[in-house]
């Protein structure tokens, strides 16, 4: 206090009694002998620019809402609005504002809540025009960045609370990508129960602009709601009143309403996480923890409410219509039964109705986010804004076919080839992985003048007639009738776990490679080519041991055949170490087939080959695919490559994937049923067995785990010829928190289901 007294005297020529004020800031009440009262604020981390911003905000609000009591800055004796303490900290003297803070005013009435909502809406309008470079600052309470505190969850001892906090951060994080598209402007940023002053009904004052920053406007509302709900016996009803008051004055957009509940939970999460952190710094500082108890209580009460139910209740006092979610899942199943091919299958015991996707999440019709751990198609994240914008822009400008010249096709071909070894220099563009594999077969057959193909046991390459013929996954699987075509020769899968040769070393790879030589010899027919995924997806997430492709392809080439690498599932940086999975082994394929992730969900695919092979194909018959390589597809493909590069997703796949694999290996130590953990980057597999020695496949158990995980909010699938491999191939944007949550949920699922 001595320093405060000195500062007061030197800068403001004032003396009096000083009392520390409650709250987390260094605020001191100054009572002078002649009965005047002030608040001295010393702000160690505040810059002169920050204060200019605060003053601009206060001035704008004062102009718009003249009846409101706002902080009034007392100038120093030399006329400055800021004083500087001996330590160089900014300080301000404010007129003391008399009034009842929201938190001290008892249970709020509906009318008071409406008045608060109206004020917040008025503030949005008043602050909208405030422009200052410091508005783009951030700080620990920046709600749009609540996820920055996610790691603090580890500080919570109680498992129930830790789970709730983890869920709250997870919900916030799933919805956070939607914030970027919402109306933004300067907000107060901390209109909490101490900073709002109430009169008989109306709000009469707003204090402490120290946290103002540019944010989506809806964050202001969510922050205040988190306190209103903490302080009320009827949290949803009073929140609904605030929202009604707000909406009357500033109509909320549907998209704003959708994020309100996740934002409220986000704010509560930041409050309790901050308290947990501060407890480690100074547990005796009571002012830091005033909201801790009510915030926890509210968070625990809200955490199991579905976002759709919450949103409905929050909007109960408005005319806002809850998001249209259409017919129920059961109704959709009924229409599918009547109108669609019965061979279409649905995932999970309780199929999901999905209404939107963003980043690594899919959202069901109840607003619940599901972490997508299996959709390798939406490679750079569901509905990535850059990809969406590229498609929309191009669709609005031109879409035509490859019989015309346009930049998109040639630019994309150049860009794609630049990701490949030099010999792979000629592109064909089509619309699906199947179409691309069909074309690859034609290329191999035309170039060699032969028909016979080698395929890997358990492999899947597409749904056309010729591809079913080279897909043992299909012809040997349910409904299949075995190998029907004598031009197809099946080689064993190079599976060092379950196959004839065990191990992950080069010697094992070479032995499996020699199996290809054996099958060629046994076939006794000229070979057009060998088609294989670089890592086997449907075959059960198998990583062929090193040396495998070098030896296998040596045999194929010696027999005059070509090597087709199917990168439909595994390409575009997923393996982490390289852009293409085949690059993990030393062979450059003759033909590379790309699909799924190439357009992030837009239907496109490509075949890239060597010039000589493409030349053989150019035998006079025109090649034309109506949609292949159209400008929209090329623009989208280009945007996908942009994002992989700009977001460093290949390296990210390596980092996050290694972390994931390590975590799965730890699980394998605890759960006997995990026979094998394998994969590279973000292409992982967990093979379940009921007997580790006999490798007895645990097919039903794998299905149960996947269904249990779906109930917990995680989307996985099973695959492999025995159906006992849990497949992991998420959008490449999942982060470590997602992985850690997945591992915890898997641990629980294994424990509860299989113990
Ligand atoms: N090759 C592989 C390895 C695949 O996984 C798939 C699809 N699952 C295809 C080809 C066929 O691709 P599409 O479904 O786009 O025709």
pLDDT digits (tens, 9 = 90+) for 418-450: 999 999 999 999 999 999 999 999 999 999 999
CA of 564 to the centre of ligand 1 (A): 14
Nearest CA to ligand 1 atom 7: 462
C-alpha 153 to ligand 1 mean position (Å): 40
**Residue 309 dihedral angles phi and psi, to the nearest 5°:** -60, -45
Mean pLDDT in the chain? 95
Say yes or no to pLDDT of 728 above 70.
yes
Listed residue (266, 172, 182) closest to 216, CA to CA: 182
Query: Which residue intervals of 345-501 are DSSP H helices?
Result: 385-397, 407-417, 433-448, 465-469, 472-475
Residues within 6 Å of ligand 1 by CB: 432-434, 437, 460-463, 533, 537-538, 566, 568-569, 595
Angle (deg, nearest 10), helices 631-646 and 385-397: 160
Half-sphere exposure of 16 (CA within 13 A, CB side): 19
Q: What's the 317 CA to ligand 1 centre distance in angstroms? A: 49
Q: What residue ranges define each of the domains in the chain, with the CATH number in brackets?
A: 2-95 (3.30.200.20), 101-314 (3.90.1200.10), 356-380+649-754 (3.90.1150.10), 425-626 (3.40.640.10)
pLDDT attached to residue 684? 98
Taking residues 682-697, what's their average pLDDT?
A: 98
549-558 pLDDT, tens digit per residue, is 999 999 999 9
**What is the whole-number distance in angstroms between the Cα of residue 568 and the centre of ligand 1?**
6
Name the percent of the chain lying above pLDDT 70.
100
Cα separation, 491 vs 162, in Å, equals: 50
Instruction: Return the minimum-mean-pLDDT range out of 31-40, 556-565, 607-616.
Output: 31-40
pLDDT of residue 725 exceeding 70, the answer is yes
Distance in angstroms between the alpha carbons of the first and the last residue of the chain? 62
Mutational test site, ligand 1, from 595, 598, 599, 601, max ligand atoms within 8 Å of CB = 595
State which ligand 1 atom lies nearest to the alpha carbon of 459.
3
pLDDT in tens, 228-245: 999 999 999 999 999 999
As a whole number of angstroms, the distance between CA 130 and CA 498 comes to 66
Asked if residue 195 has pLDDT above 80, the reply is yes
Return d(Cα 632, Cα 389) in angstroms, integer: 11
pLDDT digits (tens, 9 = 90+) for 292-315: 999 999 999 999 999 999 999 999
Whether the Cβ atoms of residue 143 and residue 267 lie closer than 8 Å to each other = yes
**Cα–chain center distance at 304:** 21
DSSP three-state, residue 699: helix
Give residue 269 CA to ligand 1 midpoint distance, Å. Answer: 42
Across 657-686, average pLDDT:
98
| 540 Cα to the center of ligand 1, angstroms | 14
Rounded CA-CA distance 1/20 in Å is: 8
Whether 358 shows a pLDDT value over 90: the answer reads yes
C-alpha to C-alpha distance for 705 and 712, rounded to whole angstroms = 10
Helix (H) or strand (E) holding 197: strand 196-198
Residue in 56, 30, 58, 28 with CA at minimum distance from that of residue 42: 28
Residue 462 CA, closest ligand 1 atom number: 11
pLDDT of residue 430: 98
pLDDT at 321: 82
Residue 598 has pLDDT above 70, yes or no: yes
* Residues in the chain, total: 755
How close is the Cα of 414 to the center of ligand 1, in Å?
A: 24
Confidence of residue 1 (pLDDT cuts 50, 70, 90): confident
Strands, E assignment, 487-581: 488-491, 527-533, 562-566
- The 10s digit of each residue's pLDDT in 149-183 is 999 999 999 999 999 999 999 999 999 999 999 99
C-alpha 344 to ligand 1 mean position (Å): 15
With b for 16 or more beta-carbon neighbours within 10 A and e for fewer, the 322-347 pattern comes to bbeeeeebeeeeeeeeeeeeeeeeee
Please tell me the distance between residue 437's alpha carbon and the centre of ligand 1 in angstroms. 8
Among 433, 474, 589, 727, the mutation site with the greatest number of ligand 1 atoms within 8 A of its Cβ is 433
Which contacts (CB < 8 Å, 24+ apart) does range 413-419 have? Answer: 413/629, 415/638, 415/641, 416/606, 416/608, 416/637, 416/641, 417/608, 419/579, 419/580, 419/641
- Among 164, 179, 137, 113, which Cα is nearest to 271's? 164
pLDDT of 482: 87
Tell me, in angstroms, the distance from the centre of ligand 1 to residue 461's CA: 5
Question: Is the separation of the CB atoms in 726 and 688 below 8 Å?
Answer: yes
Name which residue sits closest to atom 13 of ligand 1, judged by CA. 433
**Residue 323 scores a pLDDT above 80:** no
**Cα distance between residue 585 and residue 280, in whole Å:** 50
Q: For ligand 1, atom 14, name the residue with the nearest CA.
A: 433
Q: What is the mean pLDDT of residues 20-40?
A: 87
Ligand 1 center to 471 CA (angstroms): 11
pLDDT at res. 26: 79
Share of the chain above pLDDT 90, in %: 90
Return the closest-CA partner of residue 519 out of 484, 479, 556, 550.
556
| Alpha-carbon span 424 to 402, nearest angstrom | 21
Q: What is the pLDDT of residue 755?
A: 67
> From CA 265, how far away is CA 270, in angstroms rounded?
9
Mean pLDDT of 120-124: 96
For a ligand 1 pocket test, name from 434, 456, 603 the mutation site with the most ligand atoms within 8 angstroms of its C-beta.
434
What's the rounded mean pLDDT across residues 700-725?
A: 97
For 612-633, what is the mean pLDDT?
96
- Which helix (H) or strand (E) element contains residue 336? helix 329-339
The rounded Å distance from CA 155 to ligand 1 centre is: 44
**Of residues 576, 624, 605, the one with CA closest to residue 412:** 605
Residue 518 has pLDDT above 90, yes or no: yes
Query: From atom 10 of ligand 1, which residue's Cα is the shortest distance away?
Result: 461
Mean of pLDDT values over 117-144: 95
Determine the distance separating the centroid of ligand 1 and the alpha carbon of 606, expressed in angstroms.
12
Phi, psi of 30 (to 5 degrees): -115, 120
pLDDT above 90 (res 200): no
- Which pairs count as long-range contacts for 308-314, CB under 8 Å and 24+ apart, including other chains? 308/365, 308/366, 308/367, 308/368, 309/366, 310/236, 310/261, 311/257, 311/258, 311/260, 311/261, 311/367, 313/236, 313/239, 313/240, 314/225, 314/236, 314/239, 314/240, 314/243, 314/257, 314/260, 314/261
Rounded to an integer, the average pLDDT of 670-683 is 98
Per-residue pLDDT reduced to its tens digit, 487-502: 999 999 999 999 999 9
If one residue of 347, 461, 606 were mutated to test the ligand 1 pocket, choosing by the most ligand atoms within 8 A of its CB, it would be 461
Instruction: Kindly report the protein residue whose alpha carbon is nearest to atom 2 of ligand 1.
Output: 461
Q: Which atom of ligand 1 is nearest to the CA of 463?
A: 16
Taking the C-alpha atoms of residue 596 and residue 594, their distance in angstroms, rounded to an integer, is 7
**Cβ proximity of 677 and 661 under 8 Å:** yes
> Is residue 142 scored above 70 in pLDDT?
yes
Residue closest via CA to ligand 1's atom 12 equals 433
Which one of 458, 568, 600 would you pick to mutate in the ligand 1 pocket, going by the greatest count of ligand atoms within 8 A of its CB?
A: 568
Angle at 293 between CA 290 and CA 294, to 5 degrees: 90
Residues 165 and 299: beta-carbon distance below 8 Å: yes
Whole-number Å distance between alpha carbons of 509 and 496: 8
By the 10 Å C-beta count (0-12 exposed, 13-18 middle, 19+ buried), 396 is classed as exposed
Q: What is the mean pLDDT of residues 65-86?
A: 90
Ligand 1 atom nearest 533 alpha carbon: 3
């Amino acid at each position: 206090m001595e320093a405060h007294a000195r500062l007061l005297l030197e800068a403001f020529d004032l003396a009096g009694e000083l009392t520390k004020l409650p709250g987390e800031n260094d605020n001191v009440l100054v009572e002078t002998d002649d009965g005047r009262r002030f608040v001295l604020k010393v702000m160690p981390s505040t810059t002169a620019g920050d204060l200019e911003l605060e003053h601009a905000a206060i001035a704008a609000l004062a102009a718009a809402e003249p009846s409101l009591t706002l902080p009034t800055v007392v100038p120093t004796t030399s006329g400055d609005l800021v004083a500087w303490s001996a330590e160089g900290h900014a300080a301000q003297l404010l007129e003391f504002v008399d009034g009842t803070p929201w938190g001290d005013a008892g249970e709020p009435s509906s009318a008071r809540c409406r008045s608060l909502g109206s004020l917040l809406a008025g503030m949005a309008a008043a602050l909208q025009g405030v422009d200052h470079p410091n508005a783009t600052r951030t700080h620990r309470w920046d709600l749009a960045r609540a996820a920055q505190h996610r790691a603090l969850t580890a500080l919570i001892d109680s498992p129930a609370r830790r789970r709730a906090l983890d869920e709250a951060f997870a919900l916030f994080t799933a919805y956070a990508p939607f914030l970027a598209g919402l109306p933004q402007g300067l907000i107060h940023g901390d209109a909490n129960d101490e900073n709002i002053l109430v009169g008989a009904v109306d709000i009469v004052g707003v204090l402490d602009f120290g946290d103002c920053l540019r944010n989506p406007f809806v964050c202001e509302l969510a922050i205040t709601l988190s306190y209103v709900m903490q302080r009320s016996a009827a949290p949803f009803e009073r929140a609904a009143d605030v929202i009604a008051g707000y909406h009357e004055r500033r109509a909320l957009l549907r998209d704003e309403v959708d994020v309100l509940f996740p934002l409220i939970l986000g704010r509560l999460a930041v409050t309790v996480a901050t308290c947990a952190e501060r407890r480690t710094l100074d547990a005796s500082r009571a002012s830091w923890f005033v909201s801790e108890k009510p915030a926890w209580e509210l968070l625990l009460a809200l955490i199991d409410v579905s976002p759709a139910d919450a949103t409905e209740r929050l909007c109960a006092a408005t005319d806002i219509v809850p998001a249209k979610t259409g017919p129920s899942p059961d109704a959709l199943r009924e229409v599918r039964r009547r109108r669609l091919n019965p061979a279409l299958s649905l995932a999970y015991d309780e199929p999901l109705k999905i209404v939107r996707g963003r980043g690594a999440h899919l959202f069901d019709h109840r607003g619940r986010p599901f972490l997508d751990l299996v959709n390798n198609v939406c490679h750079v994240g569901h509905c990535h804004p850059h990809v969406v914008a590229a498609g929309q822009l191009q669709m609005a400008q031109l879409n035509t076919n490859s019989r015309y010249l346009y930049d998109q096709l040639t630019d994309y071909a150049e860009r794609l080839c630049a990701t490949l070894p030099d010999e792979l220099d000629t592109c064909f563009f089509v619309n699906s992985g199947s179409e691309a594999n069909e074309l690859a077969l034609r290329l191999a057959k035309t170039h060699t003048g032969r028909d016979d193909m080698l395929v890997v046991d358990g492999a899947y390459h597409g749904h056309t007639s010729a591809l079913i013929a080279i897909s043992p996954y299909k012809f040997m699987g349910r409904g299949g009738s075995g190998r029907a075509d004598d031009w197809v020769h099946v080689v064993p899968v190079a599976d060092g776990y379950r196959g004839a040769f065990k191990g992950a070393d080069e010697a094992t790879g070479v032995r499996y490679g020699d199996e290809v030589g054996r099958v060629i010899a046994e076939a006794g027919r000229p070979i057009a080519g060998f088609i294989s995924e670089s890592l086997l997806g449907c075959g059960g997430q198998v990583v062929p041991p090193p040396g495998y492709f070098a030896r296998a392809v040596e045999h194929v080439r010696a027999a005059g055949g070509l090597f087709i690498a199917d990168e439909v599932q595994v390409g575009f940086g997923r393996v982490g170490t390289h852009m293409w999975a085949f690059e993990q082994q030393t062979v450059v394929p003759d033909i590379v087939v790309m699909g799924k992730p190439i357009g992030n969900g837009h239907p496109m695919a490509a075949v890239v080959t060597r010039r000589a092979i493409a030349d053989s194909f150019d035998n006079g018959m025109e090649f034309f695919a109506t949609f292949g390589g159209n400008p929209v597809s090329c623009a989208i493909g280009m945007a996908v490559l942009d994002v992989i590069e700009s977001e460093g997703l290949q390296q990210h796949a390596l980092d996050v994937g290694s972390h994931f694999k390590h975590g799965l290996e730890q699980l394998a130590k605890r759960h006997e049923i995990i026979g094998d953990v394998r994969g590279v980057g973000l292409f992982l597999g967990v093979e379940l067995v009921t007997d580790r020695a006999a490798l007895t496949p645990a097919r039903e158990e794998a299905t149960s785990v996947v269904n249990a995980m779906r109930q917990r909010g995680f989307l996985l699938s099973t695959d492999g010829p025995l159906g006992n491999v849990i497949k992991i191939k998420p959008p490449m944007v999942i982060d470590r928190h997602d992985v850690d949550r997945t591992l915890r949920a898997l641990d629980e699922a294994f424990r509860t289901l299989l113990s």
